[in-house]
Structure 1
Amino acid sequence: MKNVVILDDYQEVALEMADWARLGSRASVKVVNRRFSDRNALKQAIAQANVLVCNRERTRIDRDLIADLPDLELIVTSGMQNKAIDIAAANERGIPVCGTAMLGYPTVELTWALILAFFRNLPSEIASLKAGGWQVGLGHGLQGKTLGIVGYGRIGKGVAKAGLGFGMNVLALSRSLTADSAAADGVQKADLDTLLAKSDVVSLHLNVNSESRGLIGAKQFERMKNTALFVNTARSILIDETALVEALTKGTIGGAALDVFDEEPLPNYHPLLSTPKTLLTPHLGYVTEENYRASYSEALENIEAWLDGSLTRVLTA
């Protein structure tokens, strides 16, 4: 019998999201709900794993960890890419890495939840009401304002479409975007400097690569309006987090709505927790029942295919 270990099931729902009983006597399934700050403790918890099921990039599966897991035969991750897994090191050991589909619209929806909550001061207004108060500030509308989308892929296009629905002007940045294709979508192609300078909301939706890593730093925040909202529901590695804290503290930008961080879960001593004009959520972009059911069901299919002697949805280094 093979040992399947599901990592980082923070909500303790993984076993409900797929019919794991289909594995029958071929495999046992163990769930790890906690995150390990101590790598030795992590190794001990998963030492007997033949199959690791990773929930996005919550746990780093690096070369050293792979080397310390002699029984490991298969890695499955939610999503069709995972920068936290050293796929090359796994493949050198003859360990395939397989992915799953992920829905894009939950991140689009969360992006807009953050933007709307920020512009209408919802956290402060809700807190006031619960404390026995009433209105405490003035919100701001979106119509006629400019939305800048950095990364115009599946999620970026979804965010742009909603922005157009709110009556916003939309600027978009993407290597593959042309002026004609942008116009066909009702948006305008822009370079980064122009987008930053003109936008009232700047939202990141890039994949991580050598060009995008650290794309937004102190110089980029300086180019933004001092009233602009910066939104990141993509990856923290796209920005200089320290520069963002400084920009918010100095009032260089108007605020930040963030769902991703350099260190996750965010430690209680992190400066962002006490930085003004922030709206922070604990990496909820993809965390919906619909997404979990889709990804865990395909993770199960990947394991079943492997047990049957074939592979599906194989990722390459």
Structure 2
Amino acid sequence: MRILAAGDHFVRPSLIREAVSQELSRTGRELPEFAELTLPWPHEPFGPVAEVREASGTEDQLLGALAGVSVCVTQMAPFTERVFAASPALRFVAVSRGGPVNVDLAAATRHGVRVSFAPGRNAPAAAEFAVGLTLAAMRRITAADAELKRGVWRGDLYAYEESGGELGGATVGLVGYGAIGRIVARVMRAFGAQVLVADPYADRAAAEADGVELVELDALLSRSSVVSLHARLTEETHHLIDSRRLRLLPHGAVLVNSARGGLLDHAPLPELLRDGALGALALDVYDIEPIPADWALHDVPNVITTPHLAGATRQTAHRAAAITASEVGRFLRGEEPAHLANRDVLAAGRP
């Protein structure tokens, strides 16, 4: 048995190797032979590789490391049709992220390779970051910091018309109610906010038990002074918050997106911010990443930007490695992975 730890500079190969070794030691299994590959992300942006998106490195790099490998644990490696076709020994790929977008699942199934992923690995980190962005936007924390560092004391921000609002007593709308959204809801309610949720897949009874109100998206936007996006990006949710829906927001509302850039139509945002219809915007994700030098929002007021950092904690990296190591343990024991992404592969009958 040979396992490839195809890590990067966040989920390091050493973290993967250590997590898998601990998992297998607990079950008394003999430790396998490990191979390691370090991909360039995040020092180099991820992007499309052949038919997969959000991958790091090249097919040739991966193929050079996959010789004789049965199991691969990775975050970003590009598992394409070409890679699967050239890797006959491969049986299992454990992806240490919330969705296996760097894997051609149809190709994996055709070649009899099971693929798992790691849902919730960054939920605490991403939820905390979303709350941080919300507070920074509402209270102009980053703008005041930047001005003070330039030597400008912005006492005018204490003026009534310039001062921000509070979460206590506010209506906060969450678009998406998965693992991240549920943590954000708990924190917002602890501040004293009323929380609305729009998610067609959310369980109404569970939402009510959490103390949130499940509503349609248009109603959420019309009622919320703060809106935070936490949905997955699919064909169904692309530009879910479009020009029409942006104009449903109450005047001066705060909008936060730390989920996926494609959820939000960016074209109307400069105008809405300049005329005050949108009071503040906080973004960690973008329609184009990295954002270009001539990005339309660079010189627009009341915009907070961070470079896709919501999940960037050391705890996330360790959780990612631990979740995938558990999946490797299940696979080697002949069990079905807990988070199998291509269930059709089970019908193929390949061990």
TM class by smaller structure:
0.7 to 0.9
Q: Does 1:49 align with 2:65?
A: yes
Structure 2 counterpart of 1:96: 114
Shift of 1:270: 3.9
CA–CA separation in structure 2 for the residues paired with 1:99 and 1:177: 21
Is residue 230–residue 259 contact of structure 2 (8 Å, CA) maintained in 1?
Answer: yes
Q: With structure 1 as the length reference, what TM-score do the two structures score? A: 0.81
Shift of 1:27: 2.0
Amino acid at match of 1:108: A
Aligned in 2, Cα 1:198/1:125: closer, same or farther, shift over 3 Å? same
Shifted more, 229-238 versus 218-227: the winner is: 229-238
Aligned in 2, Cα 1:79/1:39: closer, same or farther, shift over 3 Å? closer
Q: Does 1:236 align with 2:243?
A: no
Aligned in 2, Cα 1:165/1:99: closer, same or farther, shift over 3 Å? same
Shift of 1:13: 4.6
Q: Does 1:189 align with 2:214?
A: yes
Q: What fraction of aligned residue pairs are identical, expressed as a percent?
A: 29
Within-5 A mapping of 1:266-281: 266-281=291-306
Aligned in 2, Cα 1:28/1:269: closer, same or farther, shift over 3 Å? farther
Aligned in 2, Cα 1:5/1:206: closer, same or farther, shift over 3 Å? same
Aligned in 2, Cα 1:62/1:219: closer, same or farther, shift over 3 Å? farther
Aligned in 2, Cα 1:293/1:171: closer, same or farther, shift over 3 Å? same
Shifted more, 219-228 versus 275-284: the winner is: 275-284
Aligned in 2, Cα 1:268/1:84: closer, same or farther, shift over 3 Å? farther
Shift of 1:112: 0.5
Query: 5+ residue gaps in structure 2?
Result: 25-30, 51-56, 158-162, 344-351
Is residue 110–residue 285 contact of structure 1 (8 Å, CA) maintained in 2?
Answer: yes
Aligned in 2, Cα 1:197/1:298: closer, same or farther, shift over 3 Å? closer
CA–CA separation in structure 2 for the residues paired with 1:201 and 1:106: 20
Amino acid at match of 2:342: T
User: Which SS does the other structure have where 2:324 is aligned?
Assistant: helix
Q: Does 1:30 align with 2:50?
A: no
Structure 2 counterpart of 1:116: 135
User: Which SS does the other structure have where 2:94 is aligned?
Assistant: strand
Structure 1 counterpart of 2:187: 162
1:187-210 per-position Cα deviation (integer Å, ceiling 9, x unaligned)? 333221121112111111223444
Shift of 1:106: 1.7
1:37-57 per-position Cα deviation (integer Å, ceiling 9, x unaligned)? 6858722322223255432xx
CA–CA separation in structure 1 for the residues paired with 2:272 and 2:190: 30
Shift of 1:305: 5.8
Is residue 10–residue 317 contact of structure 2 (8 Å, CA) maintained in 1?
Answer: no
Instruction: Tell me how large the CA RMSD over aligned residues is.
Output: 3.4
Q: Does 1:76 align with 2:107?
A: no
Amino acid at match of 2:253: A
